[in-house]
């Protein structure tokens, strides 16, 4: 098993790191259903991101980092033993690897480090629209974030050191009061395992779990999925739709005098309600708005613009020689002939062959030099790719 880059598995082929299951079998037996433990899923795993690089990210204001510490477990008041600090923070604030009871967690590492984005390829048999991020945690002995429950699926990969995972499918959801983290008050494990480097544990949503470092140098990689809640999704989709509407002024020259000013005139209410109903989007518009939301990059994502952008002609020559890839933070999705990138609707090229090339860029997060070459004679496709390059959304291989 290559240590740092596992290619995207094919749905019907058995995958060693899924314990010999095919992705199709994994999805039907485990996804959103039951945990899966795979010992030595990534044997000889050489993490493409080191503990030192994780600590460097804690100083980076673009990274979402947290430092969690817990006090002695048998203190006078158990509820005050957790502390949480949000980054960025200087790495000299991070305790020594051998000090107990602390952990740092950095989210969205895949949007910052191309090697971490490439690691996610192994999981890309699951649609990109559901894939969220790679979070990396490093902990000292006994460090962890306590027993909790997540509302999303997660693959937990033990990168270095060891961690005990305790899980429970039946649990009391009551949270500990007055702590800065959502910690279950009375967690009782139904199963537990110590994960060694290269081991993997998949957990579906709503399985309570607690990961506790065993010894120093514990680094865990969590590939997490996005599960947008209805209200957040509807809120973003409606506001995107409303942004596209042009406002019209209200006029009611027919309005009459009233003896009951507190009463809303029937005609007024009827006319205003009809106006609002007419503004509601149809199914296609809702789909487009939802797809745009799904293509939103991580909130803290930034796209580095090319320092000295090439002209369109030189861009085309270079792209044909070297190929292109999506920037780590870019999200490109499609549905039928519609393309959505980084929260925007993309006008698709009119040629079918060019749309096929664009779909390839979305599926593989890159185009080889011959792939680009095939589209080189379509000015519509090339100027679309050129604009993406100017925006920092795609880069050369």
Query: What is the smallest separation between the CB atom of 173 and Co ion, expressed in angstroms?
Result: 14
Binds 199, which of Co ion, ligand SIN, none (CB < 5 to 8 A, cut-off by type)? none
Nearer to ligand SIN, 103 or 330 (CB): 103
In the complex, what is the shortest distance from the CB of residue 144 to ligand SIN, in angstroms, rounded to a whole number?
5
> Residue with CB nearest ligand SIN?
137
As measured in angstroms, the least distance from the Cβ of 293 to ligand SIN is 24
Mark 308-327 with x for binding to Co ion (rule: CB under 5 A) and - for no binding: --------------------
Spatial distance between the Cα atoms of 17 and 40, rounded to a whole number of angstroms: 8
User: CB of residue 193 vs ligand SIN: minimum separation in angstroms?
Assistant: 14
What residues numbered 202-231 form the site for Co ion, per CB under 5 A? none
211 binds, among ligand SIN, Co ion, none (CB under 5 to 8 A by kind): ligand SIN
Neighbours of 217 (CB within 10 A): 17
Give the residue closest to Co ion by C-beta.
150
Under the rule (CB under 6 A), what is the footprint of ligand SIN? 103, 137, 144-145, 150, 154, 209, 211, 220, 222
Between 133 and 150, whose beta carbon lies closer to ligand SIN?
150
Task: Check binding of 132 to Co ion (CB under 5 A).
Answer: no
User: Strand 324-326 vs strand 366-367: parallel, antiparallel, or unpaired?
Assistant: antiparallel
Q: In terms of CB distance, is 142 or 153 closer to Co ion?
A: 153
The owner of tokens 């390059």 is 389
Rule CB under 5 A: which of 140-159 touch Co ion? 150
Which CB atom, from 142 or from 150, has the smaller least distance to Co ion? 150
Per the DSSP assignment, residues forming a β-bridge with 340 are 333, 345
From the list Co ion, ligand SIN, none, which binds 103 (C-beta under 5 to 8 Å, kind-based)? ligand SIN
- Minimum CB–partner distance for residue 170 and Co ion (Å): 17
Q: Quick one: DSSP state of residue 55?
A: H
Q: How far is the CB of 58 from ligand SIN (least distance, A)?
A: 15
| 330, interface contact from ligand SIN, Co ion, none, CB < 5-8 Å by kind | none
Q: Min. distance of Cβ 145 from ligand SIN in angstroms? A: 5
DSSP 59: T
* Distance separating alpha carbons of residues 46 and 143, to the nearest angstrom: 22
Size of the site for Co ion (CB under 5 A): 1
Looking at the Cβ atoms of 103 and 108, the one nearer to ligand SIN is 103
Nearer Cβ to Co ion (111/222): 222
C-beta of residue 124 within 8 angstroms of C-beta of residue 167: no
Half-sphere exposure of 392 (CA within 13 A, CB side): 12
Measured in degrees and rounded to the nearest 5, phi and psi for residue 361 equal -65, -40
Do residues 82 and 70 make contact, with C-beta atoms less than 8 angstroms apart? yes
Distance CA 247, CA 278 (A): 12
Q: How many residues does the chain have?
A: 397
Cα–Cα distance for residue pair 338/333, rounded to 1 Å: 9
Cα 152 to Cα 89, 221, 257, 274: the distances in Å are: 28, 15, 57, 39
Scanning 151-296, the segments in alpha helix (DSSP H) are 230-244, 266-279, 283-294
Nearer to Co ion, 150 or 199 (CB): 150
Contact 97, 216 (CB under 8 A): yes
Which of residues 179 and 333 has its CB atom nearest to ligand SIN in the complex?
179
Residues that bind Co ion (CB under 5 A): 150
């Amino acid at each position: 098993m290559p240590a740092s880059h596992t290619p995207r598995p094919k749905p019907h082929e058995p995958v060693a790191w899924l314990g010999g299951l095919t992705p199709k079998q994994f999805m039907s037996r485990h996804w959103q259903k039951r945990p899966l433990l795979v010992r030595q899923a990534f044997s000889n795993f050489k993490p493409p991101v080191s503990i030192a690089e994780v600590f460097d990210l804690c100083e980076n204001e673009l990274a979402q980092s947290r430092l969690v510490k817990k006090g002695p477990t048998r203190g006078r008041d158990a509820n005050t033993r957790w502390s949480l600090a949000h980054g960025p923070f200087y790495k000299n604030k991070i305790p020594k690897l051998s000090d107990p009871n602390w952990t740092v967690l950095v989210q969205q590492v895949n949007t910052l480090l191309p090697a971490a984005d490439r690691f996610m390829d192994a999981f890309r048999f699951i649609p990109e629209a559901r894939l969220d991020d790679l979070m990396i945690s490093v902990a000292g002995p006994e460090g962890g974030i306590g027993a909790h429950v997540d509302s999303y699926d997660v693959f937990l990969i033990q990168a270095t050191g060891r961690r005990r995972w305790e899980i429970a499918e039946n649990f009391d959801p009551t949270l500990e009061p007055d702590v800065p983290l959502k910690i279950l008050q009375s967690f009782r494990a139904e199963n537990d395992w110590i994960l060694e480097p290269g081991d993997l544990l998949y957990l579906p949503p709503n399985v309570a779990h607690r990961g506790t470092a065993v010894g120093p140098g514990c680094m865990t990689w969590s590939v997490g999925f996005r599960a947008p809640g209805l209200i957040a999704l509807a809120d973003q989709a409606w506001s995107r739709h409303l942004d596209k509407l042009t406002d019209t002024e209200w006029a009611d020259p027919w309005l009459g005098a009233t003896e009951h000013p507190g009463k809303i005139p029937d005609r007024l209410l009827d006319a205003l309600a009809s106006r609002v109903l007419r503004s509601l989007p149809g199914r296609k518009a809702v789909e487009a708005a939802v797809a745009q939301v799904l293509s939103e990059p991580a909130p803290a994502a930034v796209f580095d613009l090319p320092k000295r952008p090439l002209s369109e002609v030189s861009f085309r020559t270079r792209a044909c020689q070297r190929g292109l890839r999506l920037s780590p933070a870019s999200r490109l999705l499609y549905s039928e002939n519609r393309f959505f990138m980084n929260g925007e609707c993309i006008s698709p090229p009119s040629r079918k062959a060019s749309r096929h090339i664009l779909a390839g860029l979305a599926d593989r997060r890159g185009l080889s030099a011959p792939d680009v070459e095939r589209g080189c004679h379509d000015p519509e496709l090339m100027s679309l790719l050129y604009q993406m390059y100017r925006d920092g959304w795609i880069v050369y291989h």
